[in-house]
Amino acid sequence: MKETIAGIAMPDSAMARGATERIRATQSALMFHHARRAFLFGALTGYREQRVFDMELLYVGAMFHNVGLNAAHRHSPCRYEVDSANAAREFMREHNAAASAIDEVWLAIALHTTPGIPEHLAPLAALLAAGVQMDVRGDRYDEFAAQERDDIVAACPREAGFKKRILEEYARGMELRPHTTFGTVNADVLDRWDPNYRRLNFCGLVLGSEWPN
């Protein structure tokens, strides 16, 4: 029997089950439950807004959206979102997913932390970003019924100290590649976490370039 949480039937395809197993085995319980909640909040948003979207692809995107923070990627030259998207792409290829589906999930993951862009893209990108932002910073919190929030947290526990702990997870995933945070919300994380971190400034880069004028 399919698991249903807050009225959402959890995807139960071979690829969805594989995503659950992969993320449960490779990420902390805190990040695993965060990924599941992000999916559920994104799916509820999609239903509320009458969006047409693929539930399985939204689930895979949500499950993989933070994989790039894992220790294996901490010396990567890429933004963690890109490493996450690449991991999802390889996983979906293992499951013989269509190229168009892979591209859609890749873009949704890669842009999920870029404010002002995902909501103007395909529903998958918009809903993944919406689900993540709801769970992390309570975006549009009051648009969800209290019962929906309670049901989701009961099924996918939000651990004590979640706010500080998830910021720590972000910071540890990026502290060895601080240059990748330029121009993103991730710079805010390292600014709070690392007293030695210094933001790159776009204006400074322009004015300090090698061009004579």
CATH classification at residue 57? 1.10.3210
Residue written as token pair 């895979």: 60
- Average per-residue pLDDT for the chain: 96
Could you tell me if residue 146 is inside a domain? Answer: yes
Residue 2 clears pLDDT 90, i.e. is over it: no
Task: State the Cα–Cα distance between residues 79 and 174, nearest whole angstrom.
Answer: 8
Could you tell me if residue 192 is inside a domain? Answer: no
Q: Which domain holds residue 71?
A: 4-158
Could you tell me if residue 66 is inside a domain? Answer: yes
Residue 31 clears pLDDT 90, i.e. is over it: yes
Residue 1 clears pLDDT 70, i.e. is over it: no
User: What is the domain count for the chain?
Assistant: 1
Could you tell me if residue 204 is inside a domain? Answer: no
Could you tell me if residue 194 is inside a domain? Answer: no
* pLDDT for position 28: 97
The answer to whether 128 and 118 have CB atoms below 8 angstroms apart is: yes
Report pTM: 0.95
* pLDDT for position 74: 95
Could you tell me if residue 125 is inside a domain? Answer: yes
